[in-house]
């Protein structure tokens, strides 16, 4: 299986550097310099891409709008944003659009490769070259009709598999570990992501909303609001 990646980056030098390094690491890279060309290439359906790397600041249609267009097309290919804009509002929007990661320029190219492989390992288990060492012993949480695979960041409810982003999986694992007790927003944010501020709080709301949508398939587990305080991850005995 080819490890095909789509890179959408308008900076000539950076695009060349990313493409050449990823190809050294065994990836096949299609590179577009604008969103419109990327949409044409994706629609052509040459073969499935493993990951999209989307620059935020593109000429014409920007990376955020491109992500929206991909969603409208029904794409379920994971993607991460490459951007020089590190503001928390942009990160919030990126994750709200479903990004698996958000990499701020300038970045270390080896770190980018690690992040790409992490996404592939989660979404394409068994993909050639996705991992350089054998994965640890599989860890799975099974409660009622819900199964959560910690290694693959995969949630299964009544036999239906749901792929989670890294942040969603981190949050869900934290909720499982602290089930049936009140968790304040501050506790969740500081223990998971080391900060407690307005923008991370908004991000938390996005992730909770997504997990609630996933868990709506079961009546056994529910995330309840505690007004003015936080949440309770309720699991019946």
Within a 13 Å sphere around the CA of 4, how many CA atoms are in the beta-carbon half? 11
Question: Tens digits of per-residue pLDDT, 89-145?
Answer: 777 788 888 888 888 888 888 878 888 887 887 676 555 443 333 334 458 889 989
Residue 185, pLDDT > 60, answer yes
Distance CA 212, CA 220 (A): 12
4-123 topology per CATH:
Rossmann fold (3.40.50)
Burial, 136: exposed, middle or buried (Cβ in 10 Å; 0-12, 13-18, 19+)?
Answer: exposed
CATH topology of domain 140-234: Arc Repressor Mutant, subunit A (1.10.10)
The four Cα atoms 124, 22, 19, 127 give a dihedral, to 10 degrees, of: -20
Domain ranges across the chain = 4-123, 140-234
50 pLDDT higher than 70: yes
Q: What is the DSSP string of 150-190?
A: TTTTEEEETTEEEE--HHHHHHHHHHHHTTTSEEEHHHHHH
- Predicted structure pTM score: 0.57
Cα 140 from Cα 150, distance rounded (Å):
6
Q: How far apart are CA 14 and CA 9, in angstroms?
A: 8
**Closest to 175 in 3D by CA, of 202, 207, 201:** 207
- Residue written as tokens 């600041």? 57
Q: 3-state DSSP call for residue 51? A: strand
In which element (H, E) is residue 88 found? Answer: helix 88-96
Q: How many CA atoms lie within 13 A of 30 on its CB side?
A: 22
Confidence check: pLDDT of 150 > 80: yes
What is the four-CA torsion angle of 224, 166, 203, 111, rounded to 10 degrees?
A: 160
Model confidence band, residue 56 (pLDDT cutoffs 50, 70, 90): very high
């Amino acid at each position: 299986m080819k490890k095909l990646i789509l890179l959408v980056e308008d900076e000539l030098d950076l695009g060349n550097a990313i493409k050449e390094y990823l190809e050294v690491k065994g990836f096949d890279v299609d590179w577009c310099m604008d969103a419109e060309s990327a949409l044409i290439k994706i629609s052509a359906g040459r073969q499935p891409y493993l990951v999209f790397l989307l620059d935020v600041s593109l000429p014409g249609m920007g990376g955020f709008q491109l992500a929206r267009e991909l969603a409208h097309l029904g794409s379920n290919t994971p993607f991460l944003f490459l951007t020089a804009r590190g503001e928390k509002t942009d990160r919030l929007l990126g994750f709200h659009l479903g990004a698996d990661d958000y990499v701020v320029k300038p970045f270390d190219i080896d770190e980018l490769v690690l992040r790409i492989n992490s996404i592939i390992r989660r979404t394409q288990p068994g993909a050639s070259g996705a991992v350089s060492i054998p994965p640890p012993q599989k860890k799975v949480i099974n409660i009622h009709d819900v199964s959560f695979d910690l290694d693959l960041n995969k949630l299964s409810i009544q036999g239906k598999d749901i792929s989670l982003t890294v942040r969603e999986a981190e949050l869900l694992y934290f909720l499982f570990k602290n089930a049936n007790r009140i968790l304040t927003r501050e506790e969740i944010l500081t223990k998971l992501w080391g900060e407690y501020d307005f923008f991370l709080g908004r991000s938390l709301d996005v992730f909770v909303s997504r997990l609630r949508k996933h868990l709506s398939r079961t009546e056994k587990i529910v995330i309840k609001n505690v007004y003015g305080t936080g949440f309770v991850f309720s699991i019946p005995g």
